[in-house]
Amino acid sequence: MEGVHYTVELKGNNIDLTEDGVAHAEIILGTDDLWDENDPWARFVMNALKAKVFYRRDVQYIVRDGKAIIINELTGRVEPKRRWSDGIHQAVEAKEGLKIQADSVIVAQITYQSLFKLYPKLSGMTGTAKTEEKEFSKMFKMPVIEVPTNLPNIRTARGKWQYVRAEVESMFQLGRPVLVGTTSVESSEYLSELLKVHKIPHNVLNARPKYAAREAEIIAQAGRKHAITISTNMAGRGTDIILGGNPKMLAKEIVEDNILPFLTHEPPNIDMEGESTSHKGLSNVELSPSSVGLLAKAAIMSKYIHKSERNEWSLSKAKSTIAESIEMGQMIGMEKLQERMTEESEMYPLCDAIGLAYLSVLRDCEVHCSFEGAAVKRLGGLHVVGTSLHESRRIDNQLRGRAGRQGDPGSTRFMVSLQDEIFQKFNLDTEWAVRLISRITNDEDIAIESNVVVKQLLGLQINAEKYYFGIRKSLVEFDEVLEVQRKHVYNLRQVILSGDSESCSEQIFQYMQAVADEIVLVNVDPQKPPKAWNLVKLLDEFVSLGGKLSESFKDIREQNLQSALEQMQGWGPVKADSFALPNMPLPPDSFRGIRKRTSSITRWFSICVDDTSKKGRYTNTVNLLRKYFGDFLIATYLNAVQESRYDDAYIGGIEREVLLKTLDTLWKDHLVNMNKLSSAVNVRSFGHRNPLEEYKIDGCRFFISMLSATRRLTVESLVHYWSSPMESEEIFNTEDQ
């Protein structure tokens, strides 16, 4: 129960369990500690509460075909391939009683800001960028230039009505087209029911399939006389509402209404395709006798084809045939179609008949829409009604921008309730407004207009924009840390993908030397004598790499290595391309050829000039130890590859595949860890530490660890593979499947 077991912060979408809530959850789940690392119930409890409070059906998602599908709150469209992360989507599925699917795996991630910065040149065009001018300047160092309007802007600011239905009804009686903008599927359908009660014909456009499938038709006729359209957010619709209607879409609907019944008997799926928009209280197009005749001919031909074919046409096939015929008719033109279809012809192609009928109907529709458009302009143009304020002025401006385009007349009114989510989320003190309104009237039908109220609402939106800008800015700052790592990984992948077999082999040799270096440097201290080194663990780690390397070192004892190190004291220059420790196994003779000998010498120079490792009296001995184990590891690997007797192309393919698979797998795990870290570091602010700096420090440590694990796992995989190629190939194939 809210307020007893948990508290809600709408602004940040956060939920906190109270002490009573924790105790209650532990009793229900039969656990002593919700945050027990071995049995972590807390994450599931918090996700379940978030799914209950913040993720509402028909607002944040819809349920379709047994799945919870996300609704983009900015565009109002569904996003079937997107899933919420961190277990939220699974919690929503559990809430709705749906089949719970596996959690999504992050393969790669990047913020929009970082993605845009990858382009050498950046520009854009939108009608609502001016309100975000400061953000564009700060994020992208880009100015916002205001382009003068093509035609004079004749929009005027008008007051708000609290009762949308009455506003819509009055406009409908006048004949003006109305566009009502809502913020969710739920609110659009609630308003639709209100209009149905008052018998006001209208169209609905939201994320439900039956409406989304007819989006183009609904928008095309939204500017006709008496047209009422209820739509969720209009952002990204990308279609102008033409006053008087779109003649092309209207002509297509007329052709479909006349031809479809003769091509197929399959009824339309109302749940998926919705109802036709051509009978929503709009005026009928008066067709010319020639259009009526051509439609009749096309209908007769359709009926003949339907009877002559054995298989019943599906509705989708019939619709696609009509669409193709219309497209062909527009390309060929009326004159050529008339030449192909003479009056004396008893048989003629169906596509030609439909195309010619469409072009004739289109001429009638153009005349009708032109007259109706002029009538709508005289009435005042499109009237836009906003049912609530958004958290961004840009979204409201996008809705306003549907009216009064290109010099057309139009008007906009917003209805705002003190119970709207924006007031609750940002904790605006509305008591003063309630007292003020109650003094004026208790009637909801009376519009309350005041410059003070307008300024308060504008200030609220600006504060909301600042809040979300701060979140985006913080997100970009955190992503800049990940951007450096992402570039390194992607560059490494590109080198692996574009390089030849020789470069892949060289990459592997570098990995092997790095693994040898890490094992040696972890277990020895150049400031202490060899007797103090942990040689037993050092040898065990090399044996654990497996393959033929373990066979070479399994009989070596600490005493052997200790004796070798004592004999090395005071050694001068060594032969870098054929170096071995006394009383220790000799590396296989695999450094034949000038290229491999040169590679060995280069690695020795790199070891000698390495300034990242700890320095001391015994640094030279440590370097010789690094060189010996690196050479031994590489030589053993090369020997195993040569004994396999596979050709170079196959060997190169295996090496490239292992390099990529290992890197991709550990990079995905690293992204998950970085996401967890970004959430965890915020708590450190209570200790007066900067979360961003903490993220940078720990993120760098995580990345270094990831690269080290990548090298180690790559080396282990390759050593194991070439020790028993046939067995390893079966394992590889199983993993791919």
pLDDT in tens, 501-512: 788 888 888 898
Residue 115: Cβ within 10 Å count: 10
CA distance 220 to 201: 16
Provide the pLDDT for residue 663: 93
DSSP 114-142: HHHHTSSS-----TT-GGGHHHHHHHH--
CA distance 581 to 575: 12
Q: Which of 38-42, 192-196, 380-384 has the lowest mean pLDDT?
A: 38-42
Q: Which residues have a Cβ under 8 Å from the Cβ of 499 and sit 6 or more positions away?
A: 507
Least confident of 85-89, 213-217, 546-550, 597-601: 597-601
- CB of 713 within 8 A of CB of 544? no
Lowest mean pLDDT among 215-229, 392-406, 472-486, 616-630: 392-406
Helix 451-498 vs helix 691-723: angle between axes, to the nearest 10 degrees? 30
Asked whether 519 and 541 are in contact (CB, 8 A), the reply is yes
Lowest-confidence region among 52-61, 198-207, 462-471 = 462-471
Residue 408 has pLDDT above 90, yes or no: no
Asked whether the beta carbons of 232 and 390 are under 8 A apart, the reply is no
In angstroms, the CA 321 to CA 529 distance is 87
- Report the pLDDT value the prediction gives residue 336, as an integer from 0 to 100: 80
Q: Which of 12-16, 129-133, 484-488, 530-534 has the highest mean pLDDT?
A: 484-488
- pLDDT over 90 percentage in the chain: 7
Structure tokens at 550: 């373990």
The three-point CA angle 570-572-574 to 5° equals 125
CA distances from 296 to 41, 134, 259, 322 (A): 69, 61, 9, 15
The Cα 81–Cα 207 span in angstroms is: 14
Token pair recorded at residue 713? 């796992």
**Helices 393-400, 451-498: crossing angle, 10 deg rounding:** 100
Confidence band of 737 (pLDDT split at 50, 70, 90)? very low
| Segments of 189-308 assigned E as strands | 203-205, 228-231
Phi, psi of 580 (to 5 degrees): -145, 150
| Superfamily per CATH, domain 499-736 | Helical scaffold and wing domains of SecA (1.10.3060.10)
Q: What type of residue sits at position 480?
A: E
- Phi and psi of 314, rounded to 5°? -80, 160
Task: Report, as an integer, the average pLDDT of 352-362.
Answer: 89
pLDDT at residue 556 tops 60: yes
Confidence tier at 162 by pLDDT (50, 70, 90): very low
How many Å apart are CA 283 and CA 265, to the nearest integer? 28
What pLDDT does 660 receive?
A: 92
Residue holding tokens 């010996």? Answer: 628
Contacts of 664 (CB under 8 A, 6+ apart): 107, 493
Q: Is 613 exposed, middle or buried (0-12, 13-18, 19+ CB in 10 A)?
A: middle
Token pair, residue 180, equals 């009502």
Q: Tell me how many degrees the CA angle 457-458-463 measures, rounded to the nearest 5.
A: 95
Instruction: Report pLDDT for 547.
Output: 67
Buried b (16+ CB within 10 A) or exposed e, 576-602: bbeebbeebbebbebbeeeebeebbeb
H or E element that contains 71: strand 67-71
Residues ≥6 apart with Cβ < 8 Å to 336: none
For residues 703 and 485, the answer to whether their CB atoms sit within 8 Å is: yes
pLDDT at 709 over 90: yes
**Distance between CA atoms of residues 499 and 504, nearest Å:** 7
pLDDT (mean) for 176-180: 90
Buried b (16+ CB within 10 A) or exposed e, 665-700: ebbeebbebbbebbeebeeeeeeeeebbebbbebbe
Beta-bridge partner residues of 157: 412
Q: What's the CA gap between 415 and 713, in Å, rounded?
A: 61
Q: What is the mean pLDDT of residues 133-148?
A: 79
CB neighbours (10 Å) of residue 145? 10
d(CA 79, CA 82): 6
What digits encode the pLDDT tens for the residues 427-447? Answer: 655 555 656 666 665 555 566
CATH code 3.90.1440.10 for 6-95: yes
Checking if the pLDDT of 209 tops 50, the result is yes
The H or E element that residue 24 is part of is helix 19-29
Q: 588 near 580, Cβ under 8 Å?
A: no
pLDDT at 595: 52
Return all residues near 340 (Cβ < 8 A) that are at least 6 apart.
348, 349, 352
- φ, ψ of residue 382 to 5 degrees: the values are -70, 135
Q: Is the pLDDT of residue 575 over 70?
A: no
**What integer pLDDT is reported at residue 235 of this predicted model?**
44
Residue 562 falls in which region: left (phi positive, over 0), alpha (psi -120 to 50) or beta: alpha
Alpha-carbon distances of 176 from 232, 249, 313, 378, rounded to whole Å: 20, 20, 40, 9
Q: Using DSSP, state whether 390 is helix, strand or coil.
A: coil
Q: Where are the alpha helices (DSSP H) in 555-647?
A: 558-568, 594-608, 619-644
**Would you state the pLDDT for residue 160?**
34
Of 341-355, 409-423, 512-526, least confident by mean pLDDT is 341-355
Domains of the chain, by residue range, sit at 6-95, 155-243+381-449, 244-379, 499-736
Position 699 pLDDT exceeds 50: yes
- Largest Cα separation within the chain, whole Å, is 111
Q: Residue 269 above 70 pLDDT? A: no
- Region 269-296: mean pLDDT is 70
> In whole numbers, what is the pLDDT of the chain averaged over residues?
79
Count Cβ neighbours within 10 Å for each residue of 26-63 and write b for 16 or more, e otherwise.
beeeeeeebeeeeeebbebbbbbbbbeebbeebbbbbe
Please report the pLDDT score of residue 703 as a whole number. 93
Tens of pLDDT, residue by residue over 300-320, are 888 877 777 666 788 888 888
Q: What is residue 161's predicted lDDT score, i.e. its pLDDT?
A: 32
Residue 258 φ then ψ, to 5°: -90, -30
In which band, very low, low, confident or very high, does the pLDDT at 577 lie, cut at 50, 70 and 90? low
Residue 111's Cβ-count burial label (10 Å; 0-12, 13-18, 19+) is middle
Beta-carbon count within 10 A of 484 CB? 13
Q: Please, which pLDDT band fits residue 159 given cuts at 50, 70 and 90?
A: very low
Superfamily of domain 155-243+381-449: P-loop containing nucleotide triphosphate hydrolases (3.40.50.300)
- What average pLDDT does this structure show over 235-256? 79
Neighbouring-strand partners of residue 230? 180, 204
CB contact at 8 A, 507 and 501 = no
Which regions of 338-421 does DSSP assign to beta strands (E)?
382-386, 410-414
Residue 477 has pLDDT above 60, yes or no: yes
What is the tens place of the pLDDT at every residue in 222-242? 888 889 998 887 544 556 788
pLDDT of residue 236: 44
3-state secondary structure of 14: strand
What are 541-545's contacts with CB under 8 Å, separation 24+? Answer: 542/516, 542/629, 542/633, 545/515, 545/633, 545/715, 545/716, 545/719
> What's the whole-number mean pLDDT along residues 166-176?
88
Q: What share of the chain is helix, strand, coil (3-state, %, to 5)?
A: 60, 5, 35
Q: Please give the pLDDT value at position 15.
A: 83
For residues 330 and 324, give the distance between their C-alpha atoms in angstroms, rounded to a whole number.
Answer: 10
Identity of the amino acid at 370:
S
